[in-house]
Chains A and B, each alone.
Chain A
Amino acid sequence: MYAVNYHRASSVADAAKLLKNGDAKLLSGGMTLIPAMKTRLAAPSDLVDVSRLKDLQGVKVSGKTVTIGAATTHYDVATDEKLKKACPALAHMASLIGDPAVRYKGTIGGSIANNDPAADYPAALLALGATIITNKREITADKFFKGLFETALKEGEIVTAVSFTAPAKAAYQKFRNPASRYAIVGVFVTKGKDGVRAAVTGAGEDGVFRSKEIEAALAKTFDASALDGLKVPAKGLMSDLHASADYRANLIAVMAKRAVAAANA
Chain B
Amino acid sequence: MSDVSLMVNGKRVSGNVEDRTLLVHFLRENLGLTGTHVGCDTSQCGACVVQVDGRAVKSCTMLVAQASGSTIVTIEGLANGAELHPVQAAFKEHHGLQCGFCTPGMIMTATDMIARHPEGLDEATVRAELDGNICRCTGYHNIVKAILAASQAMAKGAKGRAKQAA
Contact = CB atoms under 8 A, between A and B. Distances in A.
Interface stretch (B53-61, B73-81, B151-159): B53-61
B77 to A, nearest CB: 18
Max count, chain A CB within 10 A of own CB: residue among B43, B56, B132? B43
Interface stretch (A29-37, A163-171, A245-253): A29-37
B20 A2 contact: yes
A100 B41 contact: no
B131 interface: yes
Given A3-B19, A6-B66, A105-B57, A99 B42 contact: no
Given A6-B66, A100-B109, A102-B132, A34 B19 contact: no
Contact of B2 (A2, A6, A75, A100): A6
A5 B20 CA distance: 8
Contacts of B42: 35, 38-39
A143 to B, nearest CB: 31
B43 to A, nearest CB: 5
A31 B61 contact: yes
A100 B20 contact: no
A27 interface: yes
Contacts, number: 71
Contacts of B109: 100-101
A156 to B, nearest CB: 21
Interface string B115-132: 000000000000001011
Q: How large is the interface on B (under 10, 10 to 19, 20 to 34, 35 or more residues)?
A: 20 to 34
A219 interface: no
B61 A34 contact: yes
A1 interface: yes
Contacts of B46: 99, 101
A6 B46 CA distance: 25
A50 B58 CA distance: 19
Given A6-B65, A30-B62, A34-B63, A99 B131 contact: yes
A252 B42 CA distance: 29
Contacts of B113: 100
Interface of B: 2, 18-20, 22, 41-44, 46, 49, 55-58, 61-63, 65-66, 109, 112-113, 129, 131-133
Interface of A: 1-6, 8, 27, 30-31, 34-35, 37-39, 47, 49, 51, 75, 98-102, 104-105, 179, 181
Give 6 closest A-B pairs by Cβ, nearest first. A99-B132, A6-B19, A99-B131, A6-B65, A104-B55, A1-B20
Given A99-B131, A105-B61, 12 more contacts: A3-B18, A6-B19, A6-B65, A30-B62, A47-B63, A49-B65, A51-B66, A101-B132, A102-B132, A104-B55, A105-B57, A105-B58
